[in-house]
Structure 1
Amino acid sequence: MAVLVTRPQPDNEATAATLRARGFEVLLAPMLRFEALALQDDADAHYGAVIVTSANALRGFEQHPAGQRLLELPLFAVGEHTASAARRAGFDRVISANGDAAALREEVLARVRAKELKKTSPLLYLAGADLARDLAGDLGERGLTVVTQTTYRMIPVSDLPREVSDGFAAHRIEAVLHYSRRSARAFLEAARAAGVEISALAILQCSISDPVASILRDAGATQVLVARSPDENALLEALTRALRP
């Protein structure tokens, strides 16, 4: 029996390796495809810090000449996975909020209150084309100026791999891991198109957050688990507790 990972490439390979090390069989069906967008940096802009809510925003960052001057700035990352990507991209001063976008907002505001970050200095938000939360708006309501640069977009994948469709049809998949609302929607549409929606929703669905879980429950899934915190470690812990009690 296999666990299906819907996380986009290349992060899905790291997830698969972790699961296999824990004794799980793994199938991959990345439901979103990454597409980089050019960084349009204003050389005359003076930012106080960079904020990032996804490691995808930093993929290929080191290849942008315009981005090199940004490496001198402190960077606020939503969690440790994104923080690690920032360090690999060349940022030296990386602060991880160890949570979600709300935790990142609070981390930035705490640094402003502690006068470690000037409230008058604009923040540069490196973001995706589709955002689950208006972080820039949240910070703007609290008196900060945020400049948003869209550095990537994730395109939904419309088809399940044949091996995965066959796995659902033959009841060889025991759980699915979900990482975002968009990828969950893409998964449901692909399963419906492949004619395996009933089988796909009859098994355990492990979600990284409540908003993701709501997409699956609304579609008819009855076995839905939610990670204790919005990060992959917690997601894999929920899966392991359910399948390896």
Structure 2
Amino acid sequence: MSILVTRPHPDNEATAGNLRARGHVVLLAPVLKFEPVAFHDDSEAGYGAVIVTSANAIRAIAPQLRELGLLELPLFAVGEHTASAARDAGFGEVIVAGGDAASLREKIIRSARDKVLKKKSTLLYLAGADLSRDLGGELGAEGFDVVTQTTYRMAPVKHLPREVCEGFAAHGVEAVLHYSRRSARAFLDAARVEGVEISALAIPQCCLSETVAGVLRDAGASQVLVAATPDENALFDTLERALRTRLA
């Protein structure tokens, strides 16, 4: 029996390695494809900090970070995974939030209140093309000046890998891991195209957040579990709980 990981490449490889270390057989079906967007910064504002809600935003402009002078700035990362990518890219000062946009917003507001961040400084938000919430607008309402720059997009993949379809047909997939609303929707669309939607929704769907879980519930999944906190270790704990329940 296999665990299906729908996370995009290259993060799916790290997830697969962690799952295999826990004794699981893994199938990979990256349902979103990373595509960098050309970065042109026409703003003449001097930035006070960088905001990032995905490691992909950093990967997309990694070769330009030094010439743009961004590595010298403090960076606010949504969670530890994104923070790790920022450190690897060369950022020296990385402030880590609790794993979602709401905690990131509060971290930035608190940093200004504690005078760690100057509230009048302009913040550069390196973002994806499809945003689940208007973080820049929310911070703007709190008095911050935010410049949002799209650095990447995640394009849905229309088909699942053959081995994944065969796994569903043979009832060889034990659970599915979901990391975002967009990837959950893309997974459902691809499963529908391949004719395996019923089999796919009949097994546990383990989700990083309640927002992600809503997509699966709306599609008719009956076994939807949500991680206690929006991080991968908590998601793995949720997976183990789902598997124990199936065996009980």
Do the structures match in fold with TM over 0.5? yes
Q: What's the counterpart of residue 233 of structure 2?
A: 233
In structure 2, what is the Cα distance between the partners aligned to 1:67 and 1:216?
A: 42
The alpha-carbon distance between structure 1 residues 185 and 14, as it changes in their structure 2 partners (threshold 3 A), is: same
In structure 2, what is the Cα distance between the partners aligned to 1:39 and 1:237?
A: 38
In structure 1, what is the Cα distance between the partners aligned to 2:160 and 2:44?
A: 46
In structure 2, what is the Cα distance between the partners aligned to 1:88 and 1:184?
A: 28
In structure 2, what is the Cα distance between the partners aligned to 1:135 and 1:114?
A: 20
Structure 2-normalised TM-score? 0.96
1:3 matched to 2:3: yes
In structure 1, what is the Cα distance between the partners aligned to 2:150 and 2:43?
A: 16
Q: What's the counterpart of residue 21 of structure 1?
A: 21
Structure 1-normalised TM-score? 0.97
Instruction: Please give the per-residue CA displacement for 1:11-53, whole angstroms capped at 9, x wherever unaligned.
Output: 0000000000101010000010000112212473201100000
Q: What are the equivalent positions in structure 2 for 1:101-140 lying under 5 Å apart? A: 101-140=101-140
Q: Which amino acid aligns with 1:72?
A: E
In structure 2, what is the Cα distance between the partners aligned to 1:192 and 1:23?
A: 30
- Checking the alignment, whether the CA contact within 8 Å between 2:136 and 2:148 is kept in structure 1 is yes
In structure 2, what is the Cα distance between the partners aligned to 1:173 and 1:89?
A: 36
Q: Which amino acid aligns with 1:240?
A: E
- Checking the alignment, whether the CA contact within 8 Å between 2:31 and 2:157 is kept in structure 1 is yes
- Checking the alignment, whether the CA contact within 8 Å between 2:74 and 2:91 is kept in structure 1 is yes
Segments of 5+ residues of structure 1 without an aligned counterpart are none
In structure 2, what is the Cα distance between the partners aligned to 1:116 and 1:65?
A: 23
The alpha-carbon distance between structure 1 residues 90 and 203, as it changes in their structure 2 partners (threshold 3 A), is: same
Q: Compute the displacement of 1:230 (Å).
A: 1.2
In structure 2, what is the Cα distance between the partners aligned to 1:189 and 1:62?
A: 31
Q: What's the counterpart of residue 203 of structure 2?
A: 203
Q: Compute the displacement of 1:98 (Å).
A: 2.4
Aligned-residue CA RMSD (Å): 1.3
Q: What are the equivalent positions in structure 2 for 1:15-164 lying under 5 Å apart? A: 15-42=15-42, 44-64=44-64, 67-164=67-164
Segments of 5+ residues of structure 2 without an aligned counterpart are none
- Checking the alignment, whether the CA contact within 8 Å between 1:61 and 1:89 is kept in structure 2 is no
Classify the secondary structure of the residue corresponding to 1:57: helix
- Checking the alignment, whether the CA contact within 8 Å between 2:52 and 2:78 is kept in structure 1 is yes
The alpha-carbon distance between structure 1 residues 29 and 139, as it changes in their structure 2 partners (threshold 3 A), is: same
Moved over 6 A (4+): none
Equivalent pairs, count: 245
Classify the secondary structure of the residue corresponding to 1:48: strand
